[in-house]
Amino acid sequence: MGPLLKLYIALVVANAVLLLGHDLSVVAQWPYAWSAGVTIALIVLSAIGDHLHFEVRRGWYTNASAVAHIAAAFLLPPGLAMAIAALGVGLRALRHPLAPPKLAFNVASITLAVGAAAHLATRFGGPDRVSPGGSWTDPLIAIVVSCSYCVVSAGLVAVVVALDKRRPVWEVTRGNLSVQTMGEVGLGTVGAMLAAMLNSAPNWAPMLLVPAGLLYLAKQAMDRADRRSRNMAVTSAVGRAVVGTLDPERAFQAIAEGAVLEGLKLDGLALVPMGSPPAFSEHVACEVDRPALRAAILEQLVLEPRQIDLHIGPGRVVPTWVPEDVRCARLAVAAIPFGAGYGRPVGGLIAWREVNAGRAAFFDLDQMLVLKTLADYAAVTLETARLAQETARLHREAGQAEARREMEALREVARLKDEFLGQVSHELRTPLTIIHGYSELMVDGMLTEPGTIRQSADEIHTSSALMLRLVDDLLDTSRLDAGRIELKTDRLDLATWLTRVASGFGQATPTHHVVAQLAAPLPSVMADADRLGQVMNNLLSNAARYSARGTEIRISAAVVDESVEIQVIDQGTGIAAEDCERIFEKFYRGRHGATLAVRGTGLGLAVARQLVEAHAGSIGVRSTLGRGSAFWVRLPMAPAAKAGASRARVA
C-alpha cells in the first residue's frame, strides 16, 4: 500500500469520525419526529442487506443495504442514519474478516455517503417529504438523495481503486463504478419508497423483516447453487483435461492448475508424491506457496493416511505439527491422500486458502467433495498410466515374438531354397551325366551294336524327359506366382477323360496296377484339360514313385457336396501327419525316411495346388504312414451339369 493511498484512507476515516461524532451529538436537535421501532428495523435491514450482495459486473459488487441506508436518511437524524450504516458494515466484517485499513475505509466511506444523503434529505424536509401528503416533486427528491449517496460512496471507492491500481480515476469510474452507481441509485429509490411506507405506518416496520429474511434465505440458496455449479465446472474441466492425456505429469498439472484456483478460490493446490520411487513429480499451483506447511502435512499423511481439514488462525487450537511460521496466518487447509486403493497411498492432494474478505474460513462440504473428486482423478490418472505402460510392454513383447517368428520363417525359406538349389542341381546333374555319358560313347564311336545304340538313345530320352519335367515345373511355379498362366477352360466330360488318363498312365507305368473306379453318372466340369492333366500326372507319378512295384494305384471319382471329387489312392509309404499340410508348400519335401530315398524337388504338389485353385477347386490328402495315401481334388460342377447330377443321385 503506497503512502498516498494510506494518507487518503486516513483522511476519509478522519472525516467520517468527525462528521459522525458531530451528528450524533446533535441528534436531539433534529426537527422531525422519529420512532425507535423504525430505527431498530432499519439496523437489522442494513445488516441483512449487507449480506445480499450482487455481482453487477465481474468483480464489482453492490448490496441491498442501500435500501435501508436511504430509508434511514429520510426517516432518522443524520447521526443515527450514519451509525446504522457503519454498524451494518461492521457486522458483515465479523463473518468475512477484512484487513483493518480496508475495513476502516469501507465503514468510513459508507458513513460519509449516508451522511451526505441524510443531510440532503433533511434539507428537503426529511420525513415530511415522504409523507402521504407530499408534493409531485417527491420522487425527484428521492432520486437526488440516492444519487448523492451513490456519488459520494462510488467516488470515494474510485479514488481508492485508482490509487491502488495506479490508473486514472475517470477510467475506473467509467469502467466499472458507473454500473455499480446505477445499481445503487435504483436501490436508493426503493429505499425512499420504503421510507414513505414506514413514515405513514411506522408500526408495520417489524413486518419488513419477514420479506427481508426470506430474501436473505433465497440469496443464500442461490449462492449455494452457484457455488455448486462452479464446483461442477471445475471438476468437469479438470476431468476433460485428465481424460485427454495418458501422461500423469500433464494430467497432474491440469489438476493442480486448470480451473481449480479460480473455481474453488484457493491460493494453492499441490499434488505431492510419497513413497519411493515416487510415481510422479510434485505439482504445485499457487499464488502463495507454503512449502513448510506442505512438508508437514505430507509427513502426517504418510504417518496416517486420512483426510485433514484444518483451520489455522489467531486464537484457534491447531495440532502441534503445524509449523511455527504458519500459526499466525489465517488459513483454511485440506489434505486428501490418494491412490490408497493400490495398497498404500502414493500421493497427497493439499489445498490451502488465505482467509480474508469473501473467503470462508473453512472448506465447506461441497468444496471438500470437489477436492476428493480431484484426488480420485489423480488416483485414476496413475492407474491409467500404469495400465497404458503395461499394455505397451505387452505390445512390445508381442511385437518381439512376432519379429522372432518372422525371422524363423525367413530362415526356413532360405534353408528350403538352399536345399532346393542343391536338389535341383543334383536332379539336373544326374540325367545330364547320363546324357553326356551316352552321347560321348556315341561320338567316340564306341557303340556299334544297333541294340546298344537303341538302349542308349532310350536312356538319353528318359533323362532329358526328366529334366524337361523339372524345368517345366519350375517355370510353372514362377508363372503361377506371377499370375501369368491363362486357363483355356472348356466343358470336360470327366468320365471319358479320366478313363483316358487312367489307361494312358497304366500303359506308361507297367510297374503298378492302375485301376479306375468311376461312379456313374459323372458330371462334367469346366476345366483346362491340359492343366488338369498336369495335376493328375503329378499325383499319379507321385503315387508310383512313393509306392512299391506291383502295388495298386486307384483313380476314383464321385460327386461330393455339390462338387466332383477325384482321388488318386496308392498303397505306398504314406505321409506323416505333420507333413500332410506342408507338402503342398513350394520346395517342401516330406521329412520321412522313405521320401528321402526318392528323388524330387518338392514342386509337383505346389504346382498342382496352384492349378487346382485356379480352377476354383481344392486339393488335399488323407494318409496313414506305411499304409498309403489318398490325394483328392475337388472341382465345382459345370453349371448345367449340376441339376443332372443331383437328379441322378436322387434316383
Cα separation, 374 vs 378, whole angstroms: 6
User: β-strand 513-518 against 552-560: which pairing, if any?
Assistant: parallel
CA dihedral (428, 434, 438, 441) positive or negative: positive
- Compute CA 303 distance to the chain's CA centroid, rounded to the nearest angstrom: 34
The contacts of residue 360 (CB under 8 Å, 6+ apart) are: 96, 332
Question: Are the C-beta atoms of residues 274 and 343 closer than 8 Å to each other?
Answer: no
**Helix, strand, or coil (residue 186):** helix
In this chain, which of 78, 115, 183, 590 binds ligand ADP, going by CB under 6 A? 590
**Helix, strand, or coil (residue 623):** strand
Count of chain residues binding ligand ADP (CB under 6 A): 20
Residue 268 CA: distances (Å) to CA of 159, 271, 288, 298, 326: 31, 10, 6, 15, 14
Q: Give me 569's grid cell.
A: 489312392
Question: Are the C-beta atoms of residues 442 and 453 closer than 8 Å to each other?
Answer: yes
| Window contacting ligand ADP (CB under 6 A); options: 314-322, 346-354, 439-447, 603-611 | 603-611
Q: CB 483 → ligand ADP: shortest distance, Å?
A: 21
Residue 551 CA: distances (Å) to CA of 509, 543, 571: 12, 10, 6
The contacts of residue 44 (CB under 8 Å, 6+ apart) are: 209, 212
Map the footprint of ligand ADP across residues 535-574, applying CB under 6 A. 538, 542-543, 546, 570, 572-573
Q: Which is nearer to ligand ADP, 168 or 626 (CB)?
A: 626
Asked if residue 118 binds ligand ADP (CB under 6 A), the reply is no
In this chain, which of 297, 525, 603, 641 binds ligand ADP, going by CB under 6 A? 603
Interaction pattern, residues 266-285, with ligand ADP; x per rule: CB under 6 A: --------------------
In this chain, which of 589, 609, 615, 634 binds ligand ADP, going by CB under 6 A? 589
In this chain, which of 605, 635, 638, 641 binds ligand ADP, going by CB under 6 A? 605
Question: How buried is 157 (Cβ within 10 angstroms: 0-12 exposed, 13-18 middle, 19+ buried)?
Answer: buried
Cα separation, 374 vs 270, whole angstroms: 11
The contacts of residue 3 (CB under 8 Å, 6+ apart) are: none
| Window contacting ligand ADP (CB under 6 A); options: 73-81, 135-143, 414-422, 594-602 | 594-602
Q: CB 604 → ligand ADP: shortest distance, Å?
A: 3
- The angle subtended at Cα 603 by Cα 599 and Cα 604, nearest 5°, is 85
Q: Which is nearer to ligand ADP, 382 or 606 (CB)?
A: 606
Closest CA to 185 of 162, 152, 156: 152
Q: CB 539 → ligand ADP: shortest distance, Å?
A: 7
Q: CB 575 → ligand ADP: shortest distance, Å?
A: 5
Q: CB 629 → ligand ADP: shortest distance, Å?
A: 4
Q: Which is nearer to ligand ADP, 118 or 543 (CB)?
A: 543
Q: CB 529 → ligand ADP: shortest distance, Å?
A: 21
Q: What are phi and psi of 349, to 5 degrees?
A: -100, 125
Q: CB 544 → ligand ADP: shortest distance, Å?
A: 8
| Window contacting ligand ADP (CB under 6 A); options: 118-126, 250-258, 410-418, 602-610 | 602-610
Q: CB 427 → ligand ADP: shortest distance, Å?
A: 9
Q: Which is nearer to ligand ADP, 236 or 624 (CB)?
A: 624
In this chain, which of 322, 385, 424, 583 binds ligand ADP, going by CB under 6 A? 583
Asked if residue 600 binds ligand ADP (CB under 6 A), the reply is yes
Asked if residue 595 binds ligand ADP (CB under 6 A), the reply is yes
Q: CB 425 → ligand ADP: shortest distance, Å?
A: 15
Map the footprint of ligand ADP across residues 616-635, applying CB under 6 A. 629
Q: CB 470 → ligand ADP: shortest distance, Å?
A: 9
Q: Please report how many Cα atoms fall inside a 13 Å half-sphere around the Cα of residue 543, on the Cβ side.
A: 33
Question: Are the C-beta atoms of residues 70 and 82 closer than 8 Å to each other?
Answer: no
Q: Provide DSSP, 562-584.
A: TEEEEEEEE-SS---GGGTTGGG
In this chain, which of 431, 602, 617, 636 binds ligand ADP, going by CB under 6 A? 602
Q: 334 - beta bridge partners?
A: 309, 351
Q: Give me 450's grid cell.
A: 544297333
Question: Are the C-beta atoms of residues 19 and 114 closer than 8 Å to each other?
Answer: no
Q: Give me 533's grid cell.
A: 492333366
Q: What are phi and psi of 439, to 5 degrees?
A: -65, -35
Q: Which is nearer to ligand ADP, 371 or 470 (CB)?
A: 470
Beta-strand runs (E) in 494-561: 513-518, 524-527, 552-560
Cα separation, 508 vs 544, whole angstroms: 11
Q: Give me 623's grid cell.
A: 494318409
Q: Which is nearer to ligand ADP, 366 or 419 (CB)?
A: 419
Question: Are the C-beta atoms of residues 649 and 523 closer than 8 Å to each other?
Answer: no
Q: Which is nearer to ligand ADP, 79 or 572 (CB)?
A: 572
Q: Which is nearer to ligand ADP, 141 or 569 (CB)?
A: 569
Q: How many residues does the chain have?
A: 651
| Window contacting ligand ADP (CB under 6 A); options: 92-100, 311-319, 381-389, 595-603 | 595-603
Q: Which is nearer to ligand ADP, 267 or 476 (CB)?
A: 476
**Helix, strand, or coil (residue 79):** helix
Q: Which is nearer to ligand ADP, 180 or 629 (CB)?
A: 629
Q: Give me 9's grid cell.
A: 484512507
Asked if residue 601 binds ligand ADP (CB under 6 A), the reply is yes
Q: CB 623 → ligand ADP: shortest distance, Å?
A: 7
Q: CB 551 → ligand ADP: shortest distance, Å?
A: 11
The residue type of 314 is: P
Asked if residue 129 binds ligand ADP (CB under 6 A), the reply is no
Q: CB 615 → ligand ADP: shortest distance, Å?
A: 18
Map the footprint of ligand ADP across residues 245-264, applying CB under 6 A. none
Asked if residue 476 binds ligand ADP (CB under 6 A), the reply is no
Question: Are the C-beta atoms of residues 52 and 145 closer than 8 Å to each other?
Answer: no
The residue type of 584 is: F
Map the footprint of ligand ADP across residues 364-383, applying CB under 6 A. none
Q: Which is nearer to ligand ADP, 173 or 573 (CB)?
A: 573
Cα separation, 633 vs 427, whole angstroms: 28
In this chain, which of 557, 575, 638, 641 binds ligand ADP, going by CB under 6 A? 575
Asked if residue 431 binds ligand ADP (CB under 6 A), the reply is no
Residue numbers at the binding site for ligand ADP (CB under 6 A): 538, 542-543, 546, 570, 572-573, 575, 583, 589-590, 595, 600-606, 629
